[in-house]
Amino acid sequence: MERSSAGRYVIGVDSSSTATKAVVFDDAGHAVGEGRRTFPLRRPYPGWHEQNARHWWDSTRGALGEAASQVDASQIAAIGITHQRESFVCLDGQGNELRPAILWLDGRAGKQIAEYGSPSVHETSGKPPDVTPAFYKLMWLRENEPDTLRDSARVVDVATYLTHKLTGQWRTSWASADPLGLVDMASFTWSRQLLETVGLTEDQLPELVPPGAVLGVLGRDVAAELGLPEGIPVVAGAGDGQCAGLGAGVTRPGLMYTNMGTALAAGTWSDEYRWSRAFRTLGGPVPGTYTLETLLSSGSYLISWFMEKFGALPGLGLELTAEEIMEAAAAKVPPGADGLMALPYLNAAQTPYWDPDARGAIIGWSGFHGREHLYRALLEGIAFELRLTTDGVADDTGVPVERYLAMGGGSRSRLWTQIVADVTGRPVTVCAETETTALGAAVLAAAAVGLGGVHDIGQTVSRMARSRGTVDPDPGARPRYEDLYGVYRRLYPALKDLFPPLLAASGAAGGAPRAEESADPPN
């Protein structure tokens, strides 16, 4: 530990839904090296989302090796881990997968959500009934693949899986594991009641430690493979949302991080345990604190979906990416997209409705509308949803949300951040570091080993978290968006009763009648 704390750098590892990034940071929070490896996502049936867990490790190994090669590896003091939440894998006694991992956005457990999503489960776990917590997918396994749970020596989150590969330890932080929906949030321990319900024991689960604790150290073989010194501490982080908030500098109430990534996750700080349908409660990245988070699983996912399905307007000889062309065109469309409005529930509705049957909708179509109108309507729909959920958190806690601290790919869009500011009436401060989630893991690693002579997490955040500028609301756009928000608030209530019969009549509810094309061959 003494040798490690004398180093100049820490590495934040962020294993997300489609890629692992390993970013080397100096003690001022500047990225000085980076490695990245992508991996596939499987959709074997409508609503199902799976991965091979071995890809988590293969991508991490490649990303770490690439990042370490860009600096003096002897100066790396520690590695911190953050990851996609709620995703889990069932392993045998040798650590091999018994079936593909089930991901956070997997929607197969609608029946189990309806049956087991009680106020008691919500109060204990802090998670409203929803498609994301692993609890309901474990219930699905119990009912549909009972041999899988019975034969599982280990059921682990992404952080545990990676920690074991790096250190040989089956350990994780409670802020990494609690999104699974099996942790008693009042005590940060595994809930006996919830484990009994799904049919698991604590022996099948990893040991829980506080975020910022040392999970273990790199062994000789894996260190040699990665090009890193033996004995580097591997530090417990938190889920990617909580780490993104830490990397953004959310260390007090009144600030809300907004991760404009695949999903739109927004969260604020709480010193006490609260549970409500207005948010989901997570373990905070600082031990003993909580994160109150809202979630829309269709964030930049909608943009990727749009580009894949509809493509961009012709480039007209301009040297712009497809997304830049669409953004430039959408920027010329007035607020309100000339009467087009989007309900952005392509992957069900989370906060505050928690409705697994909800689906996306577009209203107001006319022959005048084109792709640029739909593109802008999608951006506005996400912003309307962010206002709806942010106001809900503020009303429930009694603490106003003063500003957003934005990160993720969407935060680099001037148009999108301006729309968010205009729709919500709140300034949007954009984080300087693109990989804010990895930075949050690096902050915890830096504090754990005393990088720069400081062990306090708050002081380390103050030193390492930076912003690049603020987008303020446009007074000219606010009145129109205020009127449009009044329409948006009525959209889901007007449609909610139509979604279940639509799914039932189309055969899309409650089953897996046909396979979709898979990005990865089945095992």
What does DSSP say about strands 341-343 and 403-407: parallel, antiparallel, or unpaired? unpaired
pLDDT at 507: 85
Q: Which token pair is 253?
A: 């109430």
Q: At what angle do helices 414-424 and 478-495 cross, to 10 degrees?
A: 80
The b-or-e profile of 354-388 (16+ CB within 10 A means b, else e) is: bbbbbbbbbeeeeeebeebbbbbbbbbbbbbbbbb
| Averaged pLDDT for residues 470-482 | 97
Question: Whole-number mean pLDDT of the chain?
Answer: 93
pLDDT value for 131: 87
Least-confidence region, from 176-185, 342-351, 374-383, 477-486: 342-351
pLDDT category of residue 75 using cuts at 50, 70 and 90: very high
Q: What is the pLDDT of residues 446-467, one digit of tens each?
A: 999 999 899 999 999 999 999 9
Burial class for 227, CB neighbours closer than 10 Å (0-12, 13-18, 19+): middle
**pLDDT tens by residue, 1-39:** 333 345 799 999 999 999 999 999 999 999 999 999 999
Using the predicted structure, report yes or no on whether residue 347 has a pLDDT greater than 90: no
CA 521/CA 470 separation, integer angstroms: 44
Residue 102 has a pLDDT of 98
Range with lowest mean pLDDT among 211-225, 277-291, 304-318, 413-427: 304-318
Q: What mean pLDDT is predicted for residues 306-323? A: 78
User: In the prediction, which pLDDT does 514 show?
Assistant: 32
Q: Which pLDDT band, with edges at 50, 70 and 90, does 263 fall under? A: confident
pLDDT in tens, 501-519: 999 999 876 433 333 333 3
Per residue in 160-189, pLDDT (tens digit) is: 999 999 999 999 999 999 999 999 999 999
For the residues 374-378, what does the mean pLDDT come to? 97
Mean pLDDT of 69-84: 97
The pLDDT of residue 318 is 64
Confidence of residue 316 (pLDDT cuts 50, 70, 90): low
Report strand pairing: 233-235 vs 76-83: parallel
Give which of 406, 455, 453, 454 is closest to 431, Cα–Cα. 406
> Which range, 102-111, 164-173, 353-362, is most confident?
164-173
Structure confidence at residue 513 (pLDDT): 33
Q: How far apart are CA 145 and CA 69, in angstroms?
A: 43
pTM: 0.90
- Per-residue pLDDT at 47 exceeds 90: no
pLDDT (mean) for 267-278: 96
Residue 4 confidence (pLDDT): 36
- The pLDDT of residue 501 is 96
**Quick check: 324 pLDDT over 70?**
yes
Of all residues in the chain, what percent are helix, strand and coil, respectively (each to 5)? 40, 20, 35
pLDDT, residue 515, reads 31
Task: Examine the pLDDT at 372 and tell me if it is beyond 50.
Answer: yes
**For the segment 409-451, what is each residue's pLDDT rounded down to a tens digit?**
899 999 999 999 999 999 999 999 989 999 999 999 999 999 9
Closest CA to 389 of 359, 361, 429, 424: 424
How would residue 128 be classed by pLDDT, with cut points 50, 70 and 90? very high
And the tokens for 248?
A: 């953004």
Instruction: Please give the structure tokens belonging to residue 420.
Output: 């968010």
Q: Is the pLDDT of residue 256 over 80?
A: yes
